[in-house]
Amino acid sequence: MDFLDGMDKIDIPKEKRDEAWAMRKLKETLWEGEIIVKVSVDYSGGNDDGSINRVTVELASGRECDWSEPNVRGSWDREKKAIVFSRELTELEELYFAVVKPVEDQYGSFAGDFSVDGTIVWDVVNNQVLNRGEQEVREWVSYLDELWSAD
């Protein structure tokens, strides 16, 4: 029996998962009583393996805090074509998933012949989201080598 069988499936409304909503919420949210000025999402991967390595929040005071992934179980719902969670998410949990979503949108499961190491930067002060890093892409070159000939 699947973990979610028999339970109500709860998903995040699409309008709450976009960049505009996330930026607005980052501007409104106080982190331990301080204004958030930047959120950085460090990621790396490629060749069918990769992950978000660290999410940090930079506050107006210059202090940096780790933002841990919410401890909530989710699974892919084929009918809804979305991840559904076993319980309703808090607004801060919804916000976490919204700020890491650009990595998922760009690299998915990190499948393919590439290697990437980067950071998504949510610059709250300048109202922009940047993706910076390095990516190695393998180029396929066609060739035809004669390995043996009867002549």
Of 105, 100, 119, 127, nearest to 36 by C-alpha is: 127
CB contact at 8 A, 59 and 36: yes
pLDDT of residue 2: 43
Share of the chain above pLDDT 70, in %: 81
pLDDT of residue 151: 66
CB contact at 8 A, 54 and 69: no
Radius of gyration of the chain (CA): 20
| Region label for 81, one of left (φ > 0), alpha (ψ between -120 and 50) or beta (otherwise) | left
pLDDT at residue 121 tops 60: yes
pLDDT band at 127 (very low <50, low <70, confident <90, very high): very high
DSSP element (H, E) containing 39: strand 34-46
> What would the mean pLDDT of 81-96 be, rounded to a whole number?
88
